[in-house]
């Protein structure tokens, strides 16, 4: 149940204007750049760039159970656009080829770095690790294949993605190799770590880091009976923002994920987030503003401009991130077909409530409202509204999103700590 401020938000705009009007707000008007500003908690500042760089650490050099305390520095028209969702979902594997002896790491020229922990696998190794793909070790299943938990000979826990053999067509094959090509290029604390792959005989397998605490959607649905607290949600969305910023800006070649959604956000036991599933990922063009490509993604998260024009760039991920922001606040899925027409498309409904000055009415009923939460929700929705702009040019960069979220977290902590001290 909620308590505290329950009616119209105390931060209600005196003249919110129309939704379309707000959706055209210039990104530059949100706040001055936080790139060089000291941010952080507990009286100990750290620049955004320094904190972001701290995530470019090989996973083995850093404990995966890092605390979520203030001392942790994370890795660095609307109704029409929100109603025009629809596409395929989930990422896939597949290939018609069967190439003996092609194991991870993928072919690299001398200029490409070796991924820490990359391993060459054989089929017997993976069969042993998964107890011959035991049903008891199955941890996920989709239209393209099944995911198994496994343990390598050295004790490393892994997730093994095994493609369905009856979906080996040219499209599935392209996605299988897309995922491998993307995974071998990236290394970041908030991205699942690539261990290797195997294509041999009738098997196509991708081996990645095992992330033990399920996905974000499961926690928003309270499948384990526990509520994901607001502070945890804020930490998670900052982790995701840093991961996507890295993909767009700091990887060897800019990468567009194309399937940012809550079920692709995996959680460690300490609720640190890792973005997963790169089957739809696309390398961004270096000499053009966009790439023309077949629409891929998940209904409810798809950029309406991409749907309309087939032109993809990094701002399509920004749109999906805006949907994710709303999802974290409301706890609802992007599309809720059993709800009334007004509430069926969650982001559209939430943004309309926001411009009316009633953002707090959209807060997940499992969360408790207070001044800190109310202010954070308002600011998160301001950012979400920009991310959900109908056209790409009006959306912020993911780096800007991360900077704004850092500022939101700082303000949230400053309001929460005095309240906690009085109790």
Residues at the binding site for ATP are 165
Task: Say which residue the tokens 């998940």 belong to.
Answer: 298
Alpha helical stretches, state H, 37-150: 48-53, 78-83, 123-129
> Distance between alpha carbon 403 and the CA centroid of its chain, in Å?
16
Cα dihedral 134, 139, 141, 145 sign: negative
Q: What is the DSSP letter of 335?
A: B
Contacts 24+ apart (CB under 8 A), 348-353: 348/78, 348/79, 348/82, 348/83, 350/326, 350/381, 350/384, 351/19, 351/78, 351/82, 351/326, 351/381, 351/384, 351/385, 351/388, 352/19, 352/79
CA distance 374 to 5: 8
Q: How many CB atoms lie within 10 A of CB 65?
A: 9
Coil/strand/helix, residue 151: strand
Which entry of 239, 259, 277, 317 is annotated as an active-site residue? Answer: 259
> Distance between alpha carbon 358 and the CA centroid of its chain, in Å?
27
Following CA atoms 191, 192, 195, 196 in sequence, which dihedral angle do they give, to the nearest 10 degrees?
-90
Strands 157-163 and 145-151, by their bridges, are antiparallel
Length of the chain: 423
CA distance 189 to 35: 20
User: Cβ contacts of residue 358 below 8 Å, gap of 6+?
Assistant: 8, 9, 12
CA distance 64 to 384: 29
**Contact criterion met (CB below 8 Å) for 346 and 333:** yes
Coil/strand/helix, residue 334: coil
CA distance 115 to 125: 20
Q: Which residues are annotated as a binding site?
A: 165
**Contact criterion met (CB below 8 Å) for 305 and 311:** yes
Q: How many CB atoms lie within 10 A of CB 109?
A: 5
221 among known catalytic residues: no
Active site residues: 259
């Amino acid at each position: 149940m909620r308590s505290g401020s329950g009616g119209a938000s105390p931060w209600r705009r005196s003249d919110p204007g129309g939704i379309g009007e707000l959706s055209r707000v210039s990104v530059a008007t949100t706040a001055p750049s936080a790139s060089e500003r000291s941010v952080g908690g507990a009286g100990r500042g750290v620049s955004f760039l320094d904190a972001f760089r701290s995530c470019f650490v090989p996973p083995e050099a850093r404990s995966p159970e890092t605390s979520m305390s203030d001392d942790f520095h994370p890795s660095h028209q609307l109704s029409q656009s929100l109603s025009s969702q629809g596409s395929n979902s989930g990422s896939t594997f597949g290939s018609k080829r069967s190439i003996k002896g092609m194991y991870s790491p993928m072919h690299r020229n001398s200029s490409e770095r070796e991924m820490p922990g990359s391993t060459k696998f054989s089929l017997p190794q993976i069969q042993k690790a998964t107890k011959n793909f035991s049903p008891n070790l199955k941890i996920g299943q989709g239209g393209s294949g099944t995911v198994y938990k496994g343990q390598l000979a050295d004790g490393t826990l892994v997730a093994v993605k095994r493609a369905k053999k009856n979906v080996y067509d040219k499209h599935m094959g392209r996605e299988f190799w897309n995922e491998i090509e993307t995974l071998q290029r990236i290394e970041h604390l908030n991205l699942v770590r690539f261990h290797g792959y195997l294509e041999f005989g009738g098997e196509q397998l991708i081996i990645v880091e095992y992330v033990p605490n399920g996905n974000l959607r499961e926690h928003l649905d309270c499948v384990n009976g526990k509520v994901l607290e607001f502070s945890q949600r804020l930490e998670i969305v900052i982790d995701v923002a840093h991961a996507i910023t890295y993909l767009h800006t700091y990887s060897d070649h800019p990468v567009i994920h194309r399937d940012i959604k809550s079920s692709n956000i995996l959680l460690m036991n300490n609720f640190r987030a890792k973005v997963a599933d790169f089957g739809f990922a696309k390398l961004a063009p270096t000499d053009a503003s966009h790439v023309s490509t077949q629409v891929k993604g998940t209904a409810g998260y798809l950029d309406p401009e991409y749907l309309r024009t087939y032109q993809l760039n990094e701002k399509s991920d920004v749109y999906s991130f805006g949907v994710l922001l709303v999802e974290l606040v409301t706890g609802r899925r992007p599309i809720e077909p059993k709800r009334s027409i007004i509430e069926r498309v969650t982001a559209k409904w939430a943004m309309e409530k926001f411009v009316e000055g009633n953002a707090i009415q959209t807060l997940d009923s499992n969360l408790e409202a207070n001044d800190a939460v109310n202010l954070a929700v308002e600011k998160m929705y301001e950012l979400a509204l920009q991310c959900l702009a109908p056209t790409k040019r009006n959306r912020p960069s993911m780096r800007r999103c991360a900077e704004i979220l850092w500022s939101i977290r700082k303000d949230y902590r400053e309001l929460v700590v005095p309240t906690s001290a009085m109790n």
